[in-house]
Amino acid sequence: MTENEFLSLAEETFEEIEEKIEKASPDCDCLREGNVLTIETPEEKSLVLNIQSSTQEIWLASPAGGSRYGYKDKHWINSKTDSELMEDVLSQIGGTK
């Protein structure tokens, strides 16, 4: 995938994450700055998602630890656990799929 294709896909993913969080956990705040999306929960937990164009990954940093997600079969998949990014984010903020 080209860098432009990757960036477009990652942008769409961030928008989808923000929309799902608004529906699943409306008390959470999302802040977008460039390639970084920060999610603050009412419990003062922070999740930080970062677009890494050099490796074509999205990185997630949270109280649960750090994870890297690559795009595979139309999903962002954790490189260590094979879990899906959206599911991981929603479970960590206490939302549903």
46-79 pLDDT, tens per residue?
999 999 999 999 999 999 899 999 999 999 999 9
Give the pLDDT score at 97: 43
* pLDDT band at residue 24 using 50, 70 and 90 as cut-offs: confident
Segment 24-44 mean pLDDT: 92
CB-count exposure of residue 21 (10 Å: 0-12, 13-18, 19+): buried
Segment 72-93 mean pLDDT: 94
CB-count exposure of residue 73 (10 Å: 0-12, 13-18, 19+): exposed
In degrees, rounded to 5, the angle at the alpha carbon of residue 56 between the alpha carbons of residues 83 and 23 is: 50
Q: How far apart are CA 17 and CA 30, in angstroms?
A: 9
Give the pLDDT score at 95: 56
